[in-house]
Chains A and B, each alone.
Chain A
């Protein structure tokens, strides 16, 4: 049984400029202990999709229009506030993109790491402090003056990488079953990125935590994930194991993404870019959302809804022409 089973999730934003269909009918499953990658451009709805079922999308303007998100027999979308809060930060934790702003600047690092233990596990201060110190140590937050000194540090006294380590410690201190990492390395220096990814992987293996890794960086996916979902304009266009995705991408969008990677080009050669822009999400898209930019698009692509369909074992694509065997 999957740990998390999301079906047909739609999150729309009701703005002055119309309804933005940020997430428009996505389904996914996460198995216990597995790492699922979600890759897509900025604005494709990766973050919103995951914030939705945790009840973290500001409402108004956001509204979950349809869908279920079953987690251990509980539908997170219909769950009342207190139930959702008891899961959030305890059984499902999140790491955010920018550790510069995601930590509370007014609170010591120690207090912030202790907080989930105090709130969810009902630990006393001393015990929570012990656990927090251990956790900070295991994420590699060292201090010459000892880990207790680190507990008393404020976020602004730490570097970006150190702050992200604090975020990781805070997210994992309650030993959650699912970790949602939303672009955990995007805001960091390239040299630190690899360290942080390695740390997340290590911690995840040690605690047996499943993870959804949201990123726009295919390189991050390649080294970390078991399975990948490719997101575009609020929908999933391709779903495959990481190996299949990189060795035999089926959807023209995925292939275009692979071609866009700088490493796919010879030195001196022009970089490849996908022509056009992602579609406006304020109007309903009938056919395939990628059709206007797709080199292989035909009339049928603009008319028929593009839905994920398996084209090989554990490999699904939403491209109508691939499904028909034409590509």
Chain B
């Protein structure tokens, strides 16, 4: 297993290299630049700026310089937030997005797993139809609709929760619910489907024939197989949740990573775009690795495969 993890970690480096290269040249293809503004800037100023950020150099030199810094973990200065480096900006935004993401993940897992398992135990009953219809709605309603709706009800009408900001525990409830809802819905449907499949298998009948209680049949025998699709889904989903959501952060005025990312793209803030893309890519790669490790832990057959390929 350790060898498997080491090998996968080593694979991350070339993947990131390809991503850096692709993104570096792709963003230069987009029209406009970081210093284009509606007011015309005096040519001397523009020249100075470009010289300062080495934008006057040939593209390949810029690329090599960027790689040189990247090797030391330096993502460079932000072109738009001139007093900050990209590392600092991510360092400011990520903890906020991480916290929000963890709450949302908790919401998604608790609601999604519980309703999915419960529905799979009594298929085609009210216990199945009601949460699954809600889940369908949860998948269909976009978060930019759900967010304001929750604000309207819980902040404006009932006055229970603050409508926006990021100051204390109460401020975190609505954004976490909004962000987690769609994931909860998706997890619920995934769980229901795979649990139904596992519960129809022969070894579940064997477990029942052994006289086990229904709880033991479900928790000990069915769940391991039943949550595997959920685990696979959680890799990319967790990376998405934890790296911030532009929509949620905008609706609730949260100083997270998602807004930085989108603003960087609008501003043609080249280093910021590269930095956030790299950060997001690393998160996805790490979480996918985590998923593979968890799956191996859940299923002995996968464990064996890893051992044979290591």
Q: Are B210 and A170 touching (Cβ within 8 A)?
A: yes
| Smallest Cβ-Cβ distance to A173: which chain B residue | B210
* Min CB–CB distance B28 → chain A (angstroms): 50
What residues of chain B lie closer than 8 Å to A107, measured between beta carbons? 220-221
In the docked arrangement, what's the CA distance between A315 and B192, Å? Answer: 51
* A89 and B203 contact, Cβ closer than 8 Å, known pairs A105-B301, A106-B300, A154-B300: no
In the docked arrangement, what's the CA distance between A116 and B209, Å? Answer: 10
- Taking Cβ atoms with an 8 Å cutoff, the residues of B that contact A are 201-203, 205-213, 216, 220-221, 224-225, 298-301, 304
Q: Are A96 and B205 touching (Cβ within 8 A)?
A: yes
A52 lies within 8 A of chain B by Cβ? no
In the docked arrangement, what's the CA distance between A157 and B203, Å? Answer: 16
Q: Are B203 and A116 touching (Cβ within 8 A)?
A: no
Q: Are A85 and B213 touching (Cβ within 8 A)?
A: yes
In the docked arrangement, what's the CA distance between A108 and B304, Å? Answer: 13
* Min CB–CB distance A162 → chain B (angstroms): 16
* Min CB–CB distance B233 → chain A (angstroms): 19
Q: Are A104 and B207 touching (Cβ within 8 A)?
A: yes
Q: Are B209 and A93 touching (Cβ within 8 A)?
A: yes
Q: Are A88 and B211 touching (Cβ within 8 A)?
A: yes
Q: Are A102 and B216 touching (Cβ within 8 A)?
A: no
Q: In the complex, how many residue pairs between chain A and chain B have their CB atoms under 8 Å apart? A: 73
Q: Are B212 and A85 touching (Cβ within 8 A)?
A: yes
* A120 and B211 contact, Cβ closer than 8 Å, known pairs A104-B221, A107-B221: yes
In the docked arrangement, what's the CA distance between A87 and B210, Å? Answer: 9
Residues of A77-122 contacting chain B, CB below 8 A: 84-90, 93-94, 96, 98, 101-108, 115-116, 119-120
* Min CB–CB distance B300 → chain A (angstroms): 4
Q: Are B301 and A156 touching (Cβ within 8 A)?
A: yes
21 contacts between A and B (CB under 8 A): A56-B208, A85-B212, A85-B213, A86-B211, A88-B209, A88-B211, A89-B210, A93-B210, A94-B206, A101-B201, A103-B206, A104-B221, A105-B300, A105-B301, A106-B299, A106-B300, A116-B210, A154-B300, A156-B301, A156-B304, A167-B206
| Smallest Cβ-Cβ distance to A170: which chain B residue | B210
What residues of chain A lie closer than 8 Å to B298, measured between beta carbons? 106
In the docked arrangement, what's the CA distance between A63 and B278, Å? Answer: 59
A39 lies within 8 A of chain B by Cβ? no
Q: Are A106 and B225 touching (Cβ within 8 A)?
A: yes
* Min CB–CB distance A152 → chain B (angstroms): 10
Q: Are B205 and A89 touching (Cβ within 8 A)?
A: no
What residues of chain A lie closer than 8 Å to B220, measured between beta carbons? 107
Q: Are A115 and B212 touching (Cβ within 8 A)?
A: yes
What 0/1 readout, one digit per residue, does chain A (50-72) give for beta carbons within 8 Å of chain B?
A: 00001010000000000000000
What residues of chain A lie closer than 8 Å to B205, measured between beta carbons? 56, 96, 102
* Min CB–CB distance A17 → chain B (angstroms): 17
For the complex with contacts A88-B210, A154-B301, 20 further pairs of A-B residues with Cβ separation under 8 Å are A54-B209, A56-B208, A56-B209, A85-B213, A88-B211, A90-B211, A96-B209, A102-B203, A102-B205, A104-B203, A105-B203, A105-B300, A105-B301, A106-B221, A106-B298, A107-B221, A116-B211, A156-B301, A157-B304, A170-B210
Could you say which of B205, B207, B210 has the most chain A C-beta atoms within 10 Å of its C-beta? Answer: B210
Interface size for A (C-beta < 8 A) is: 30
What residues of chain A lie closer than 8 Å to B304, measured between beta carbons? 156-157
Interface SS of chain B: helix
Could you say which of A54, A103, A115 has the most chain B C-beta atoms within 10 Å of its C-beta? Answer: A115
* Min CB–CB distance B119 → chain A (angstroms): 16
* A85 and B211 contact, Cβ closer than 8 Å, known pairs A101-B202, A106-B298, A107-B221: yes
In the docked arrangement, what's the CA distance between A162 and B77, Å? Answer: 65
* Min CB–CB distance A68 → chain B (angstroms): 21
| Smallest Cβ-Cβ distance to B214: which chain A residue | A81
* Min CB–CB distance A217 → chain B (angstroms): 20
In the docked arrangement, what's the CA distance between A119 and B220, Å? Answer: 13
* A156 and B300 contact, Cβ closer than 8 Å, known pairs A106-B225, A119-B216, A120-B211: yes
| Smallest Cβ-Cβ distance to A120: which chain B residue | B211
Q: Are A103 and B209 touching (Cβ within 8 A)?
A: no
Q: Are A102 and B202 touching (Cβ within 8 A)?
A: yes
| Smallest Cβ-Cβ distance to B201: which chain A residue | A101
Residues of A205-225 contacting chain B, CB below 8 A: none
Residues of A136-158 contacting chain B, CB below 8 A: 154, 156-157
What residues of chain B lie closer than 8 Å to A157, measured between beta carbons? 304
In the docked arrangement, what's the CA distance between A116 and B205, Å? Answer: 14
Q: Are A96 and B299 touching (Cβ within 8 A)?
A: no
| Smallest Cβ-Cβ distance to A81: which chain B residue | B214
* Min CB–CB distance A71 → chain B (angstroms): 13
What residues of chain A lie closer than 8 Å to B208, measured between beta carbons? 56, 88
* Min CB–CB distance B153 → chain A (angstroms): 39
